[in-house]
Amino acid sequence: MNNKAGILGIGSYLPEKIIDNLYFEKTMDTSDEWIKTRTGISERRIANDNEATSDLATKAALKAIKCAKLKPENIDLVIVATATSDMVFPSTACIVQNNIGATKAAAFDMSAACSGFIYAMTVAKQFVENKVYQNVLVIGAEVLSRVLDYTDRTTSILFGDGAGAVVIGNVEFGGILSTYLGSDGSGKEFLNIPAGGSKLPASQNTIDNKLHTIKMAGNDVYKFAVRIMGDASLKALEMANLKTCNIDYLIPHQANIRIIEASAKRLKLNMDKVYVNLDKCGNMSAASIPVALDEAYRLGKIKKGDNVVLVGFGGGLTWGSSVVNWSIQGGKNE
Ligand code: COA
């Protein structure tokens, strides 16, 4: 009997509206060429005015539950990883719990910025393997377009909206072989939203100075990301007693194509073993990894028994990685 937690079902949702690089070319001093060569991004999805993070999360969650061949009332716990919760409280997870009718589930949000999905998956694994809960719904969902300054060319071009979800439960085969998490709060100034919390509550001054939007020291984050993506992946492999040659597929956080290529090189992987959707989606923070994982699975790039490395980094600073031995049959044309 395999006592490991694993992924029972997966789903994702992207809003319909697309903003391409030409939009930014028209509205600020930048170019399609600069954005593509420096980041790899061509376009990103943006939520409609009437869509909140919970709406995207709900759609992804229902797909994941269906994929797991379960019903909402079979879910014991809902965790939403997000940096853009609907409101300060209640948690977005509570709103999703009600939307999907998971009447028996507890619910809470997880705050670890772009690493949030791996953090939430790690928590879910503990609950399942310690037999506290049977089925845990883990969602990474963001509406980052609400916290961007669309006059700041250094940040607004990078991010998009979306949601991805998995159901974590006991699997007969494979499962989550390892998870590794880390943080370094001394880097809190590199990537943050300064206002709207207890330190700097909303005021006319914070609004005038756009302090409710993402602020980033791009170069510092870049250097940190290139180092930590490789280090964290190698650590998760070591914890799973595996080596780089055992990796079948890599699902990296989708922040910048140059960061992804550097990670692949460090792991001695060809880019055909690495999933990239940031050209179409941009950086969706906590939603990036589960959306990429869902797309790769549905395109038939990940098969039952494959060792899939998930790795991400983000504000905090935080980072996380995991080796998942894929346990769901199917994929392509499913
Ligand atoms: N269009 C045109 N020029 C731009 C620009 C844009 N959208 N954004 C920045 N620039 C300019 C800068 O102002 C700078 O000009 P200067 O030399 O006159 O000062 C120049 O381009 C180079 O800026 P730099 O920051 O060195 O560029 P870069 O190659 O490091 O790329 C990022 C910038 C943001 C793309 C890159 O640093 C990055 O991806 N960092 C990581 C960000 C990240 O992952 N964030 C999310 C974490 S979860």
Q: How many domains does the chain have?
A: 2
218 CA → ligand 1 middle, Å: 6
* Confidence at residue 180, expressed as pLDDT on a 0 to 100 scale: 98
Q: 243: domain range?
A: 177-325
334 assigned to some structural domain: no
pLDDT, mean of residues 109-134: 98
pLDDT, mean of residues 64-79: 98
The residue type at 1 = M
CATH of the domain at 301: 3.40.47.10
234 assigned to some structural domain: yes
288 assigned to some structural domain: yes
Give the residue from 148, 175, 202 where a domain finishes: 175
- The sheet with strand 307-314 has its strands ordered as 175-183, 318-325, 307-314, 249-252
pLDDT, mean of residues 76-94: 98
47 assigned to some structural domain: yes
Tell me if residue 253 is catalytic: yes
279 assigned to some structural domain: yes
In 3D space, the residue among 1, 112, 40 whose CA is nearest the CA of residue 275 turns out to be 40
pLDDT, mean of residues 158-186: 97
Of the residues 192, 253, 256, 325, which is catalytic?
A: 253
Same domain as 209, residue 129: no
Same domain as 214, residue 90: no
Same domain as 116, residue 202: no
252 CA → ligand 1 middle, Å: 20
Same domain as 283, residue 183: yes
Same domain as 109, residue 18: yes
Same domain as 270, residue 182: yes
Structure confidence at residue 334 as a pLDDT band (50, 70, 90): very low
Tell me if residue 67 is catalytic: no
191 CA → ligand 1 middle, Å: 14
Cα atoms found within 13 Å of the Cα of residue 5, Cβ hemisphere only? 25
113 assigned to some structural domain: yes
Residue 11 CA to its chain's centroid (Å): 13
How do residues 2-21 score in pLDDT, each as one tens digit?
Answer: 789 999 999 999 999 999 99
Same domain as 182, residue 135: no
Of the residues 114, 135, 192, 307, which is catalytic?
A: 114
216 assigned to some structural domain: yes
Give the residue from 175, 204, 219 where a domain finishes: 175
Residues 6+ apart with CB under 8 A from 218: 154
* Confidence at residue 333, expressed as pLDDT on a 0 to 100 scale: 42
- The pairing of strands 318-325 and 307-314 is antiparallel
How do residues 212-265 score in pLDDT, each as one tens digit?
Answer: 999 999 999 999 999 999 999 999 999 999 999 999 999 999 999 999 999 999
Average pLDDT of the chain, as a whole number: 96
pTM above 0.75, yes or no: yes
In 3D space, the residue among 94, 82, 169 whose CA is nearest the CA of residue 120 turns out to be 82
* Confidence at residue 3, expressed as pLDDT on a 0 to 100 scale: 86
Same domain as 277, residue 182: yes
Query: Which atom of ligand 1 lies closest to the CA of 315?
Result: 48
Same domain as 74, residue 30: yes
* Confidence at residue 332, expressed as pLDDT on a 0 to 100 scale: 53
Q: At what angle do helices 288-298 and 116-129 cross, to 10 degrees?
A: 70
216 CA → ligand 1 middle, Å: 10
* Confidence at residue 331, expressed as pLDDT on a 0 to 100 scale: 62
User: Does the pLDDT of residue 207 top 60, yes or no?
Assistant: yes
48 assigned to some structural domain: yes
Tell me if residue 114 is catalytic: yes
Give the residue from 155, 175, 195 where a domain finishes: 175
Same domain as 266, residue 136: no
Same domain as 205, residue 121: no
For ligand 1, atom 10, the nearest C-alpha belongs to 154
Can you read off the two tokens belonging to residue 277?
Answer: 């959707």
Query: Which atom of ligand 1 lies closest to the CA of 258?
Result: 39
